[in-house]
Amino acid sequence: MNATNTLEEVHALVLPRQTFGTKLMRFIQRKPLGAAGAVLLLLMIFTAVFAEAITSFGPNDTDVVSKLQGPSTLHYFGTDNLGRDVFSRVVFGARLSLAVSLTVSIAGSVLGGSIGIISAYVGGKWDSAIQRPFDILQAFPLLILLLALVSALGSSLTTVLIALTIGVSPGQNRIVRSAALAAKSAPYVEAAHSLGAGHMRIMLRYIAPNCIAPWMVVAASLFGGVIVAEASLAFLGLGIPPPLPSWGRDLAAAQPRVSQAPWMAIFPGVAMSMVVFGANLFGDAMRDVLDPRLRGR
């Protein structure tokens, strides 16, 4: 038996391999609030995926006779001013909001993070030139920037996705670039340079893996913020156009009727709050787990 096999056996005895179930239980024990946030997100995802099986009405089915009816056994969340079932609107709105938020979080993280790694690696004047557009974008409040982009490009699903992706990418770029600058000066990167490794290999093999933790943490924190941003655009009439259901548009329709039909605003607002609250709890827990400085807490 050689020394390598002996060392592997010692590691197996001292540090037994943890299964997914063991890691999950440890996460629940150490971060109960984060686990609660994950449960909220999973509940909303389940609702969005099985929307057709959960609801008895379509989100755009109108019934003028049944308009502005309160919650009942037929309409769980009541009806709106057009006689549409609010429960169906909330459930199908969850599908749209979650899909938009997931798409934008991934696209914005990939765009901003990739450019951040490249910018940190090339350095010098190229780094400054690459960062200036992101500095300009970050100088504007997010909602003002989104309103300008959507107004210029037109209101559509594709436009909203592009505007949100551009709006969230500067924050991801900053975080990942900072991690990449630290990794760039590490001895193993200098060793890779001296051994003749190519630039692409160094960025993908040695720098990018060290940026995964902050990358994921910021992406998780983006999830809830994107939902609020999309709802804000819809509330102002510049979001995803009808007939797609939207929590923000439902809140806008409920505004002049709050005293007459408060359920029109309560249930979409509660659903959006649950998703944002769950995403924030889960994102904070992921930060604590992935950040080496916070793992012992």
Give percent of the chain above pLDDT 90. Answer: 12
pLDDT digits 0-9 by tens, 5-50: 554 454 454 545 667 678 778 878 888 888 888 899 899 889 888 9
Task: Identify the sign of the CA torsion 120, 123, 127, 128.
Answer: positive
Q: What is the DSSP letter of 196?
A: T
Which pLDDT score, from 0 to 100, does residue 262 have?
92
Give 27 or 71, the one with higher predicted confidence: 71
Q: Which domains does the chain have, with CATH numbers?
A: 30-290 (1.10.3720.10)
Taking only the tens place, the pLDDT of each residue in 133-154 is 888 888 888 888 888 888 888 8
Reference 252, options 232, 267, 270; nearest CA is 232
110's CB contacts (< 8 A; 6+ apart) are none
Name the more confident of 243 and 20: 243
Cα–Cα distances in angstroms (integers) from residue 189 to residues 6, 115, 124, 202, 275, in the given order: 30, 19, 18, 7, 40
For 11, phi then psi, to 5°, come to: -65, -40
- pLDDT of 209 higher than 90: no
pTM of the model: 0.81
CA dihedral 58, 62, 65, 70 (to 10 degrees): 60
Distances in whole angstroms, Cα of residue 236 to Cα of each of 46, 55, 92, 275: 29, 28, 20, 21
Identity of the amino acid at 262: P
Q: Which helix (H) or strand (E) holds 202?
A: none
Give the pLDDT mean for 58-81.
Answer: 89
Name the DSSP letter for residue 225.
H
Q: Report the candidate in 105, 73, 76 with the shortest Cα–Cα distance to residue 90.
A: 76
Rg (CA), the chain: 24
Residue 293 has pLDDT above 70, yes or no: no
